[in-house]
């Protein structure tokens, strides 16, 4: 420990501990490592451990990694940390990894294929032991790249058809089916859908859930009442709903593929002079923070974000300890959170229903002629 005038300079090394305990560094190493402690006599092991504690010995992870070729570091790729979806997932991952002595290196890809490749390479250079990928693009060149390097991979919110990677996802399909069942239960018969991008597994799964939910409720899907957003954004929600309105909104409820789209739906309805939920019910997906503070508070599907993170980390840790364990594909059940944006459809009585729809049409026309923003 390079003792200088009784003061500890720099870091305490294994040699210092060994010296203090009066043993050879190799013995100290064995005593300190739980895996090999059995090889050393109980008494000596105790002496070494005491010495280590008294010197506040911390093994140097670089030296250890250099030898063992494991960095105790896991790379985590996400699109963007400032998207409120990800912080809870990241925290879940970090907490679970930390408990096992690992740390996460988080990289933001901004949904950019090239940036993702760059981040991935950087992390490979840092010798991460594995990758947790929460990026949703279906193109698989990245996965190939990592898989070829024989680095363990865990997918988050993304399932590859061949099921060769362990993954943790929320059950998007089941969640959206629940949403439709909820609306059908309220009495809605004509339900529109602002679907997400179909090249993202979330968008795809939720759309499938919509179709299945409609079928299960014995309802027909009107093709003119389904619009596909090109991204999960307010702007796209607004655009899609305008399209719905332009096609003649025959629906009394709109299922949005996520909360951001739902915000756009709100905006479009407001613009068209339609009230939510009195005229149209709206449902989102994700239960984002503060979504309960909107007017009206948005009915949404809660996503166990944090648990998705801890489970993903858990799968990674399993993969890192026994490489042979079978591939697990885990789905976490979502939960429907009913708030003020859904209620029974307007005017169940025939006469009032007719009036209601008449009113809707009139407003629609106004909406169509309003300038696009």
Partner DNA sequence: TTGTAGGCGTTATCAC
Partner DNA sequence: GTGATAACGCCTACAA
Is residue 23 close enough to count as binding DNA by CB under 7 A? Answer: yes
Is residue 64 close enough to count as binding DNA by CB under 7 A? Answer: yes
Cα–Cα distance, 254 to 241 (Å, whole number): 9
**Residue 44, binding choice from a copy of itself, DNA, none, Cβ under 5 to 8 Å by partner class:** DNA
Backbone angles phi, psi at 154, to 5 degrees: -125, 135
**Residue 293, binding choice from a copy of itself, DNA, none, Cβ under 5 to 8 Å by partner class:** a copy of itself
**Residue 344, binding choice from a copy of itself, DNA, none, Cβ under 5 to 8 Å by partner class:** none
Cα–Cα distance, 57 to 63 (Å, whole number): 14
CA atoms within 13 A of residue 204's CA, in its CB half-sphere: 12
Shortest Å distance, C-beta 258 to DNA: 44
Is residue 14 close enough to count as binding DNA by CB under 7 A? Answer: yes
User: Do the beta carbons of residue 170 and residue 177 sit within 8 Å?
Assistant: no
Q: Which of 241, 199, 240 is nearest to 111 (CA)?
A: 199
Is residue 100 close enough to count as binding DNA by CB under 7 A? Answer: no
Is residue 307 close enough to count as binding a copy of itself by CB under 8 A? Answer: no
Nearer to a copy of itself, 61 or 344 (CB): 61
Intra-chain end-to-end CA distance of the chain, in Å: 68
Nearer to a copy of itself, 59 or 359 (CB): 59
Shortest Å distance, C-beta 163 to a copy of itself: 27
Is residue 51 close enough to count as binding DNA by CB under 7 A? Answer: no
**Residues sharing a CB contact under 8 Å with residue 361, sequence separation 6 or more, in sequence order:** 248
Q: Where are the beta strands (DSSP E) in the chain?
A: 73-78, 103-108, 130-133, 153-156, 167-170, 191-195, 226-228, 253-256, 281-283, 300-302, 329-332, 335-337
User: Do the beta carbons of residue 161 and residue 143 sit within 8 Å?
Assistant: no
Shortest Å distance, C-beta 20 to DNA: 12
Is residue 151 close enough to count as binding DNA by CB under 7 A? Answer: no
From 22, 42, 46, 66, residue interacting with a copy of itself (rule: CB under 8 A): 66
**Residue 24, binding choice from a copy of itself, DNA, none, Cβ under 5 to 8 Å by partner class:** DNA
Stretch that binds DNA, among 63-71, 77-85, 242-250, 256-264 (CB under 7 A): 63-71
Stretch that binds DNA, among 5-13, 93-101, 168-176, 299-307 (CB under 7 A): 5-13
Is residue 30 close enough to count as binding DNA by CB under 7 A? Answer: yes
User: Do the beta carbons of residue 36 and residue 30 sit within 8 Å?
Assistant: yes
Stretch that binds DNA, among 28-36, 230-238, 336-344, 350-358 (CB under 7 A): 28-36
From 49, 55, 100, 105, residue interacting with a copy of itself (rule: CB under 8 A): 105
Q: Which of 304, 313, 283, 309 is nearest to 170 (CA)?
A: 304
Shortest Å distance, C-beta 297 to a copy of itself: 10
209 membership: H or E segment, kind and range = helix 201-216
Cα–Cα distance, 158 to 170 (Å, whole number): 9
Retrieve residue 215's tokens: 């079928």
CA atoms within 13 A of residue 70's CA, in its CB half-sphere: 10
Stretch that binds DNA, among 59-67, 186-194, 326-334, 347-355 (CB under 7 A): 59-67
Is residue 294 close enough to count as binding a copy of itself by CB under 8 A? Answer: yes
List residues binding DNA (CB under 7 A).
10-11, 13-15, 23-27, 29-30, 32-33, 36, 39-41, 43-45, 57, 59-60, 63-64, 66-68
């Amino acid at each position: 420990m390079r003792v200088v005038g009784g003061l500890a300079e720099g870091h305490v090394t294994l040699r210092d501990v060994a010296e203090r305990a009066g043993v050879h560094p190799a013995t100290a190493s064995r005593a300190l490592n739980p895996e090999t402690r059995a090889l050393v006599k109980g008494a000596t092991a105790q002496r070494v451990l005491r010495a280590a504690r008294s010197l506040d010995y911390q093994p140097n992870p670089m030296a250890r990694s250099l030898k063992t070729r494991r960095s105790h570091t896991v790379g985590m790729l996400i699109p963007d940390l400032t998207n409120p979806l990800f912080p809870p997932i990241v925290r879940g991952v970090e907490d679970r990894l930390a408990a096992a002595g690992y740390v996460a290196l988080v990289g933001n890809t901004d949904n950019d294929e090239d940036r993702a490749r760059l981040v991935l390479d950087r992390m490979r250079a840092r010798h991460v032991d594995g990758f947790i990928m929460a990026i949703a693009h279906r193109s698989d060149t990245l996965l190939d790249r990592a898989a070829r390097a024989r680095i363990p991979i865990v997918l988050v919110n993304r399932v590859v058809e061949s099921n060769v990677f362990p993954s943790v996802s929320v059950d998007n399909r089941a969640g959206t089916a629940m949403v439709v069942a909820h609306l059908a239960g309220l009495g809605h018969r004509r339900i529109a859908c602002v679907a997400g991008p179909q090249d993202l597994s979330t968008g795809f799964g939720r759309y499938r859930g919509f179709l299945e939910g409609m079928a299960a409720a014995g309802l027909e899907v009107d093709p003119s009442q389904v619009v596909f957003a090109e991204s999960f954004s307010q702007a796209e929600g607004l655009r899609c709903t305008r399209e719905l309105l332009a096609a003649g909104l025959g629906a009394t409820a709109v299922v949005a593929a996520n909360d951001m789209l739902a915000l756009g739906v709100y905006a479009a309805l407001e613009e068209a002079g339609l009230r939510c939920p009195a005229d149209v019910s709206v449902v989102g997906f994700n239960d984002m923070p503060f979504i309960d503070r909107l007017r009206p508070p948005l009915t949404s599907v809660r996503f166990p974000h944090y648990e998705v993170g801890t489970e993903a980390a858990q799968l990674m840790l399993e993969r890192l300890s026994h490489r042979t364990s079978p591939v697990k594909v885990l789905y976490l059940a979502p939960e429907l959170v009913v708030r003020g944006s859904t209620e029974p459809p307007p005017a169940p009585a025939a006469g009032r229903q007719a009036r209601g729809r008449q009113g809707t049409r009139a407003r629609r026309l106004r909406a169509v002629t309003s300038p696009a923003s």
